[in-house]
Structure 1
Amino acid sequence: MTAALPRTDAQVLDRIEADALAYGGEEFLAEVRDEAAAWALEHDDPARWSAYLGVAWQLVDAHRAELVGQLVPTPDGKWRTVTPARCPAGHSWDHQKVSPLVSSWLPCRGPDHRGHHRVRCVADVGGRECGEIVVFPDTVEGCSFVGIGEGEG
């Protein structure tokens, strides 16, 4: 099932709060709400809602970035690997209909890991594929890809 793009501020907030809950639980969701509310109170009425959404989104994205590559539980009791929120070109990976991604595993003889997740953006950009790639964890000195696709990344 493909998630629909949020169309209203309320739908954007629902998405931000769902991500906060998924990536940090009830306690993190409460922290995001409190911090966003504090920032929003510093703005006048017309800008207050935008400030709230912007701060909440930034806090959740920053927390998600810390979890990239880790397994997290899903609401239906399954597990999934956390990917970056978007590709380096800015295409969102949260909405498969708009910007799909292709994920793979690169075995590695790294000093403190056994491999890397490789995510390639296949969003349609003017009739061609975006092609931006994110590899995590980042490659470090001593990384040595093995097997098919050696040296890619």
Structure 2
Amino acid sequence: MSVIQVQVLHPDRLPALIGQEIGVSPWRSISQEQIDRFAEATDDHQFIHVDPERARNTIFGGTIAHGFLTLSLLPSLAEDALPDLEGKTIGVNYGLDKVRFISPVHNGARIRGRFVLDEVSRRAGNEIRLRHTVTVDIEDNDKPALVAQWITLSIF
């Protein structure tokens, strides 16, 4: 399976791409500062995320990113990975069918998103609904951080 290497894609080409990996984002680091800011924004201050000293003595051996932090990066990873759709005025989240958090993302780890197009459906005139299986890889880890079925709407 090859990754689509175009910057702008006509929406009529989408059905032919179902089942293909259509984008892979660059690697990006997850920092303790980012984890701390997410904890502050969500009021989730569990020590395995924000207390490096205490987290060092757990099965994780240090702090880890919140699973929801990793999940919340999907739009940004997609922005770096997926081609723009010709004529699209905006894209919005529509939901998730399934999410599984598989491996923890340690402070300082690098992640990337891989996007497989699963479904394309035209909706009310100017909308296309897309479903991707997104795998968030962790560099040098055999298991991904998460796998999700992510649904978005592209509005034209």
Verify same fold: TM over 0.5: no
Higher helix share: 1
Q: TM-score, normalised by structure 2?
A: 0.31
Larger radius of gyration: 1
State the TM-score, normalizing by the size of structure 1.
Answer: 0.31
The structure, 1 or 2, with the larger RCO (C-alpha pairs under 8 Å, 6+ apart) is 2
Structure with greater strand share of residues: 2
